[in-house]
Amino acid sequence: MCGIYGEVGRGDVLKNAIDGLKALEYRGYDSAGIAFFNELQRIKVTKQKGMVASLEAKAGVDRWATRCPLSDPLDYNAVIAHTRWATHGKPASKNSHPFKQGRFVVAHNGIIENYKEFKTELENRFIFQSETDSEVIAALLEEEYSKLWDSQFTVDEFEEGFIDILTRENKDMTLEAIYNVSKKLKGAYALAILSEDVPNTIFATTNNPPLIVGSHGDATSTFVVTSDEAALPANSQIYRLKPGEIATLDDNAIKIYESTGEGVAPKGDPLFQPIQAKQQPSKDGYPHFMKKEINEIEKSLRATLESKDTEQFKRVNEFLKTADTIYLSACGTAYHACLLGKHYIEKNLGKQVVAEVASELRYMEHVGVALEGDPHKVAAIFVSQSGETADTIAAAELFKKQGAKIITITNNPNSTLANLSDEVININAGKEVAVAATKSFTSQAFAFNLLTGDTCVNCLEPFFAEAKRLQENTTQIKELVEKYKKVKNIFFIGRLADYATSKEASLKLKEISYIHSEAYQAGELKHGTIALIESKSVVCAIITDPKIKDKTMNAVYEVKARGAKTIVISPFTELKDNAVVDDFIEIRNVMHDLIPILSVIPMFNFAYYFSKQRGIDPDKPRNLAKSVTVE
């Protein structure tokens, strides 16, 4: 989780670092911080709660106040920066990275699981400003380095005044300190480190979370370290650090050192790979990425169909038909796509499916039993927009280790998850920037339908046309938001596939409008939750299946009888005139199998306008991140 950016070079490295951090905000934006050398070669750390834009202003002031030579074309400087998604300690300036202890400054991605055992002991010698696990790393480095420093001298040498230590030695000792501290840490970490004893040099290491070193665009003598290549301009040459490697970036070169267990040994220049030129995402005139992406649903659905590899779909379809066990797993919105996937596989292939969130699945006993049988008969489908979600990757790795076939449905075929998979289904939905997933959900669900159904691909025009109509139909939705803007609870109900979309509609509303919302199987409401229904409640029923239409309507009658306001989303227009339905959102009758995919679109717009109405930035809601890379 979180984003790291560091740079060594001539010119405005501070500006580059701020720009780099902005590109990493999808990994968290609770707070941000930056550290750089001032003119006395001391490190100045500037931190700010909130998004990178707030840090930018503060860092600009600090830069002049400390007379930091950050834009002098003759001077080199090193800077490390971080955007945070809080795990240990609330979002606050004091808990922002980088952390300084003694001469060391550290920016950290990941979680140190054993930090407490060190912190208690270190508290005798260090004053900790934060509640984080990460600050402990800086203290451990300072302590380890001090020991190495002290061990160089005899008392006599000190008495003779021998204190002429060469920078090279400081660098070696720093490498050794990093190596020794790494061995003590349990958990996940990617680190960018500065030391006041080694000016204008960045040290970087990882034990797993992604960390890249390389050049900044065409500037071959400006070196960068970052947790994601998204922070780099085109033409940058990159090298992905392997677990245990330590990199140094200074005014001459990047060097990689391998931890061998016998100290650190230089390995020589890394092999760099160029990154593809990429376009910066643009809102294209929309006020928010989320609205732009809702309005791209139809285009994305078409792109999902276009990228369909017929041979691959046949192969996966056959495998699903013969598999003994089928698991679907993901997190967040992608998990709701799995629930629709379960519906399609069970309905169209007649196979039973287990769909579980990834953070739970790998601890379930039945998984072990299935994998101990014949793992080649286990189909494991993982769904992830980014392909970088830590929980999903961890679950996929477990299945892979046991020999199961890994199938991934993703919007990022170059991702970590895609790289470990046997089959990669690219939904091809186009870049999704808003934290709340929209077009990726509809495309993931569509991919499941294409994988399992006998959809007549030449009959899909009405489906695409209806997606377009719904994404653009905002008049009715805005009226509904106005009507219900004061409510405190909104319930979504549905059965089978409509329950899956109810869950997604409810999640979207919670995520970006902070309204309390729950989704229930319509038939289950009367077994408890109905106790919450009163005259101020709003209940939205999604009803797309003729087989269960009347049963779901029973629940609408029940909540109406208790005073609730009711919204029904459905292709069954006769429900419009039913006295218990206050508001009716029509889905025009396209192919029955595909209607559930469309039924959620009005609720994406509902959540979006609700969020706007409440003055929230729907693209960056509090506490969330687009890609969650911690377990």
| 628, 629, 630, 631: which one binds ligand G6P (CB under 6 A) | 628
Which structure tokens are listed for 594?
Answer: 């595909």
For residues 119 and 336, which CB has a smaller minimum distance to ligand G6P in the complex? 336
Q: Are 5 and 211 in contact (CB under 8 A)?
A: no
- 442 touches ligand G6P by CB under 6 A: no
Strands 405-410 and 378-384: parallel
Token duo for residue 365: 């006993």
> Sign of torsion, CA 47 48 51 52?
negative
Catalytic residue among 44, 292, 405, 626: 626
Indicate whether 433 belongs to the interface with ligand G6P (CB under 6 A).
no
Asked if 513 interacts with ligand G6P (CB under 6 A), we say: no
For 209, 370, 513, 597, the CA distances from 324, given in Å and listed in that order, are 34, 9, 42, 28
* Interaction of residue 385 with ligand G6P, rule CB under 6 A: yes
Q: Per 3-state DSSP, what percentage of the chain is helix, strand, and coil (rounded to 5)?
A: 40, 25, 35
Could you confirm whether 2 is annotated as catalytic? yes
Reported as half-sphere exposure (CB side, CA atoms, 13 A), residue 434 has a value of: 30
Residue 624 binds ligand G6P, judged by CB under 6 A:
yes
DSSP 585: E
Is 180 a residue that touches ligand G6P (CB under 6 A)? no
Stretch of 197-205, 432-440, 448-456, 519-527 lying at the interface with ligand G6P (CB under 6 A): 432-440
CB of 383 to ligand G6P, least distance (A): 7
Q: Does 389 bind ligand G6P (CB under 6 A)?
A: yes
Stretch that binds ligand G6P, among 266-274, 310-318, 380-388, 588-596 (CB under 6 A): 380-388
Q: What angle do CA 497, 502, 507 make, to 5 degrees?
A: 130
Residue 36 belongs to what H/E stretch?
strand 31-37
Q: Does 331 bind ligand G6P (CB under 6 A)?
A: yes
- Amino acid at the residue 234: A
Q: Is 332 in the site for ligand G6P (CB under 6 A)?
A: yes
Binder to ligand G6P among 392, 408, 506, 537 (CB under 6 A)?
A: 392
From CA 608, how far away is CA 384, in angstroms rounded? Answer: 22
456 is catalytic: no
Interaction of residue 447 with ligand G6P, rule CB under 6 A = no
Q: Which of residues 98-137 bind ligand G6P (CB under 6 A)?
A: none
* Residue 290: both structure tokens together: 């989320």
Residue closer to ligand G6P by CB (options 259, 444) is 444
Choose, from 2, 68, 331, 338, the residue flagged as catalytic: 2
- Which has the closest alpha carbon to 254: 282, 294, 216, 208? 216
Shortest reach from residue 291's CB to ligand G6P, in Å:
16
* Residue with the CB atom nearest ligand G6P in the bound state: 332
Question: Does residue 506 interact with ligand G6P by CB under 6 A?
Answer: no
- Closest of 176, 173, 181, 81 to residue 122, by C-alpha: 181
Residue 264 or 396 with smaller CB distance to ligand G6P: 396
d(CA 11, CA 72): 6
Of the candidate residues 95, 132, 384, 443, the single one contacting ligand G6P (CB under 6 A): 384
Catalytic residues: 2, 626
What are the residues binding ligand G6P (CB under 6 A)? 331-334, 384-386, 389, 392, 435-437, 624-628
